Structure 1
């Protein structure tokens, strides 16, 4: 992304930071599709996996909150990772290389079947928009959150960096949840333009306050999920019209 051009502006750099292309799946999915294509017509998996394969065959390998292919790919990738990670370590290979170059057709197709079953079990259908699964939730000021599907949360379109997402959101299911909630990844994102006058844009996961009753507890959550960075007030004059309260030490 960064070597493809040398004319970045702050805005195009922000766009690059939230580029949705998932490089891992661009490499892995063709091998899965080819494995399905090699199945004999009378094989039971051929019909069982036809619809998920059709979805992934036409996918552009880009995350989106409304993308059902992203959900299938992530669940499939997780199950294939579990099947191959030990063998990859034994072979002295990265799991990504092993999955792409050495995973068997049986492993690839078996992982897809398991992924579809997990999606049906947890969400009622294998075809679930990614944003329904991948969520941001902040319930209180605790460092370690107790997540709940019954409490409010917002969809996050980007995925884990494991799959090549530069806008990284490391999410998983927790005890008692079906949805995935993020606890790692890009917690602070900033783009800075250095020059005679500094300009910068940034966003923080959730908000800058740890107090649930503060309006700034989660006022950046939607910005974070959409890549809508806020202007950074750097110079004293930038604060005009934006100051809620002034504090002086000792008072």
Structure 2
């Protein structure tokens, strides 16, 4: 090339495809980069470099992420309210559902999101579905403890003794159901092939959330129960022996 010619090397899209009289650029996110992070970078660059009046829109999975992602918080809050109301009707109390949800859900959600921040998965529409599912799954651990502690109080035990006994007695059922849930969803974490990203996201959220949520629930729910739960008067002259209560519940189920 003659020395009088000078130029610059820069990157540019190889084509502008018109769509509804608008220019469209198709790109691919580099491996290992979450789609949400790539879209945020694109939006920041567009905000700085595009002239006044220009906007950016998306298609395909990017559009789905932006459209559904904006609705996630409302959907999550609605699911929490519905679960709270169902539990309030079941326990005939507004305190017990608060103990169950406050002692299990925030910790499980934090544990699930931790793996997202570590880069093992992304916060996409599939992981959001996993988070909503996790709320219902992890709540049952608190239900087992609180319900049994209430029965112990009604049978004559004090509140502190009842929740300590309930946490110890319900430990094995909680660990067994958690293990079954984790083992059942673990194949989603190891999934390969087409659509594996969606299954990995759901699996990682459920498995990590259940493990971390269960470990903390065993300690946090009893603590909140002692502080918030009301003291129940004894409604029976029967022994407060946990074995008697367990047998009564099994007979009722049968």
TM-score for the superposition, normalised by structure 2: 0.26
Compare the two structures and name the one with the higher strand fraction.
1
Which structure exhibits the higher relative contact order, with contacts defined as CA atoms closer than 8 Å and separated by 6 or more residues?
A: 2
Query: Which structure has the highest helix share of the two?
Result: 2
If the length of structure 1 is used for normalisation, what is the TM-score?
Answer: 0.26
